[in-house]
Structure 1
């Protein structure tokens, strides 16, 4: 990863935001994909804008995009794009969605961007470097008492089978009135900035979580799967984000 990669990632976020902002709370087309999730004109316009830049300037790099699929699948360097993470929030006019941009090196996330284009809030994380929020250092907060932690998740409907019991175990272990629902990638930015202590999700795909890892970990937090293992391209989509790494054992114990 080079300084030029960071510059490119910021330009990709700028391009996506320029495509999204004119359509927010406006008129646009939407449809359902085969997996029943929603996609809008803004999702596709934002990813197309980012892909155009990568294809023109980094033709040897791979691309993994939520809307337009994979390019150069075997490349050691792959850009992972989620143009709107939180499409339901975009549809509802809630500015808590985000554009996710990650750079994978041999399957490991080394650079990540969470960009909220309406509020113009941007978290940038790089392996080996500190995370920034709008250009200034971002830092997680300590959580000495897990029972007082703020827990976030996008929706309880993402959990099924034994995953329900695992999530509810954590929900019962934290403060009852400090559980927030909704937020998608925005919650992970709030972990990096020291406002949320733990986020637990299931059913995520690589484009949902790759960018989050450098952001959270660059701010001093940790991300793992539900067994406590580091996240990479082969992870199963069940993730834990923690502002205070010392609380990982508390989470794993609560999950049973």
Structure 2
């Protein structure tokens, strides 16, 4: 992309603006939580809204030609064919608990693929980005390249997801088939699970019920690090829904076989 560096610079400025909006409210006794879905607990805070607004202001100044799709303020059309997909705080439940598994998610779509993405954890100052030639983690200590680890054996794999009660009963049963074959399963990591996969510390992330803004940024980061991200049928995951991210093609095939009930694919 001819304007790749401007896109990267814009994403970093958005993430910086989101940090400034969020951090004064994190672990604050003044945080106000509302429930967006009365039938369930789907929290939103003033930090979510302030962060998305701050990112939209950056885009209005730097790239007004691009469309925006954000969790809190919806869709704004554009003329460039590019859409920024924003989740100002992925993991609001963790945020209101004072845990640090939440993050700011930024993705850039060209209408068919996610060209660039970012997972930013403001409190611990870790910024993961992927796409446009980058697979990089930036921390207070400096920068390092991202790369998934070359594990092809499901019996030695670490599997992450956010909720133990994943999706429907059928989805939970499918997840359990994979978890029963994995070495270790952990819960509650939100978007940080994908960051750990790209960093080479875990092997699989399996989730259901996602929205496009939940996966756009993580998808680009994981794929840039050498991983694979699809839906549970092996198709595109850009719209969310049932998502699997794997460190290697072998693990991806083995997990997909178990998710579909085809047990012949349990190992590589």
Looking at structure 2, the residues matched to 123 and 95 of structure 1 have their Cα atoms a distance apart, in angstroms, of 15
Could you tell me which residue of structure 1 aligns to residue 91 of structure 2?
Answer: 86
Secondary structure of the residue that 1:169 maps to in structure 2? helix
Secondary structure in 2 matching 1:76 = coil
* Equivalent position of 1:187 in the other structure: 193
Deviation at 1:116, TM superposition (A): 0.2
Q: CA deviation at 1:32?
A: 0.6
Provide structure 2 residue ranges, at least 5 long, that are not aligned to the other structure.
262-268
Q: Is the 8 A contact 1:61 1:75 kept in 2?
A: yes
Q: Distance in 1 between matches of 2:192 and 2:258?
A: 24
Residue of structure 2 in register with 1:20 after alignment: 22
Aligned to 2:265: none
Report the CA distance between 1:74 and its aligned residue.
Answer: 7.3
Unaligned runs of 5+ in 1: none
Question: Are the aligned partners of 2:214 and 2:240 in contact in 1 as well (CA < 8 Å)?
Answer: no
Q: Number of aligned pairs?
A: 251
TM-score by length of 1: 0.94
C-alpha contact (below 8 Å) 1:32/1:38 kept by paired residues: yes
The root-mean-square deviation of aligned C-alpha atoms, in Å, is 1.4
After superposition, where does 1:243-254 map in structure 2 within 5 Å? Answer: 243-254=247-258
Q: TM-score, normalising length from structure 2?
A: 0.90
Aligned ranges 1:116-195 → 2 under 5 Å:
116-127=121-132, 129-134=133-138, 135-175=143-183, 178-195=184-201
State the distance in 2 between where 1:196 and 1:182 align: 14
Q: Counterparts of 2:111 and 2:223 in 1: how far apart (Å)? A: 19
Inter-partner Cα distance in structure 1 for 2:35 and 2:246? 33
Counterpart Cα distance in 2 of 1:75 and 1:67 = 22
Match for residue 47 of structure 2 among 42, 45, 48: 42
Q: 1:236 to 1:85 in 2, by over 3 A?
A: closer
4+ runs of 1 displaced by more than 2 Å? none
Partner of residue 12, structure 2? 10
Indicate if the aligned counterparts of 1:76 and 1:107 stay in contact, CA closer than 8 A.
no
Q: Tell me the alpha carbon deviations over residues 87-109 of structure 1, each in whole angstroms, 9 at most, x when there is no partner.
A: 01100000110000011112421
